[in-house]
Structure 1
Amino acid sequence: MKRTPPRANPREVLALNLKRLRAIHGWSQDTLALEAGLDRTFVAHVERLRRNIALDNMEKLAVALGVPLAWLLEVDLASQLQDTE
């Protein structure tokens, strides 16, 4: 019987990718929030898995970070980032 790998939790993937992308930019949560037009505490709560996020706000974060929206939910974001270097 073929086993399927466990599915990644989308909220965890989003949180990890936000942290990775912020680090690449050298941004704090404050800076990301300012660039995206969101509150810093909201960004912090999303990264800590304490808040759900609407698609509109995900788009704001993606635009601020300069990446396609889909990258925020990409399980293997590291490979996507290497392809762009």
Structure 2
Amino acid sequence: MDFQKFPEGYSTGMYQCKKYGISKTTFNNGKSIKLYAEELGGSDFISMNFYSTKEKELLKPCEMSKAKVVDFLIKVKLLNTMES
């Protein structure tokens, strides 16, 4: 998974014609990433953790299917992240 497209902190993106607020927090020198996206004005959300170890990389969705998380990561289009 390429998490580099998501800036650290808060950004916004479009997914399935809906706008999402996206928060990314990186821990352990980039070996752990938490990503949470919430539909603005709606009830949908995406929540996941990603861990990179010497042996493997692990994507751990929170309370949803891995397929939903992967679809979001691939299809979300980031908007201007320099919002005021």
The alignment's TM-score, normalised by the length of structure 2, stands at 0.32
More strand by share: 2
Larger radius of gyration: 1
More helix by share: 1
Higher RCO (CA < 8 A, seq sep 6+): 1
